[in-house]
Amino acid sequence: MVNSLKELIYEPELNNASDPEEIFVSSDINWENYEALLVKLEDNSHYRVTYLDGVLQIVSPSKRHEKIKTRLAFLIEFYLFKKQIKHTPMGSTTLKNRLQKAGAEPDECYCIEEEKDIPDLAIEVVFTSGNIKKLETYRRLGVREVWFWENNFLKLYDLQEESQLVSQYIYGYKQIQASELLPELDICLLEKCTLIADQIEAVNEFERGIA
């Protein structure tokens, strides 16, 4: 039983000592212990917990991480509002499937059109690497699209039917240039405005671009 983060392997990010991300990893964790740890952390929304086949990863995000994920969420929700696309923001809701031995807490996630138990879109802001296969986790959970923000760019992945799987796909996902869920959204514009330092300037630029 994992009683505290001190019992997990600690893997600090070394790229930015002044604003580090902390990663705690442990293997051979059964489902009951995973759920017990979720209960222990339920009052601390700062942590992101991922589980796959007994491997548990907990990330304590950096300030940079939170700034990017908050800006992305704001711009995406602004776009959905301006285009009058029905949606349900689900934040960092814990998604889990015991039979699939998989669980995740995205940085942000959304249901498009109808509300569902599993979101259509999950967003991950990546500043560190770990041993969790995130796309495999989301495949088992049934998330249709996963967007990774990494090195100031978005990488989009679309879940494929099992009958269509080919060797070029990554854990059942095909990398795509434009979203299947939001095909009119200009991803390059979204990337550009996410990186603008001033919030008002970023939103104004984004609004002009989607008009």
First CA to last CA across the chain, in angstroms?
Answer: 53
pLDDT score for 14:
43
Distances (CA, A) of 207 to 70, 107, 108: 17, 23, 21
In the numeric block, which tokens belong to residue 133? Answer: 């296969």
Assessment of whether the complete model's pTM goes beyond 0.85? yes
Summarize pLDDT for 56-78 with one digit per residue, the tens.
Answer: 999 999 999 999 999 999 999 99
Instruction: Please state, in angstroms and rounded to a whole number, the distance separating the CA atoms of residues 56 and 37.
Output: 10
Mean pLDDT of 199-204: 98
pLDDT score for 42:
84
∠19-58-112 over CA atoms, to 5°?
A: 95
Count CB neighbours of 135 within 10 A.
20
In the numeric block, the tokens 């760019």 are attached to 153
pLDDT score for 130:
54
Instruction: Please state, in angstroms and rounded to a whole number, the distance separating the CA atoms of residues 174 and 153.
Output: 17
Instruction: Please state, in angstroms and rounded to a whole number, the distance separating the CA atoms of residues 193 and 76.
Output: 11
Summarize pLDDT for 161-178 with one digit per residue, the tens.
Answer: 876 667 778 899 999 999
Per-residue pLDDT band at 10 (split at 50, 70, 90): very low
Does 199 score more than 80 pLDDT? Answer: yes
Domains assigned to the chain: 62-210 (3.90.1570.20)
Instruction: Please state, in angstroms and rounded to a whole number, the distance separating the CA atoms of residues 109 and 122.
Output: 4
Summarize pLDDT for 119-175 with one digit per residue, the tens.
Answer: 999 999 997 655 568 999 999 999 999 999 999 999 999 999 876 667 778 899 999
Instruction: Please state, in angstroms and rounded to a whole number, the distance separating the CA atoms of residues 138 and 136.
Output: 5
pLDDT score for 4:
52
Helix%, strand%, coil% for the chain, nearest 5: 30, 25, 45
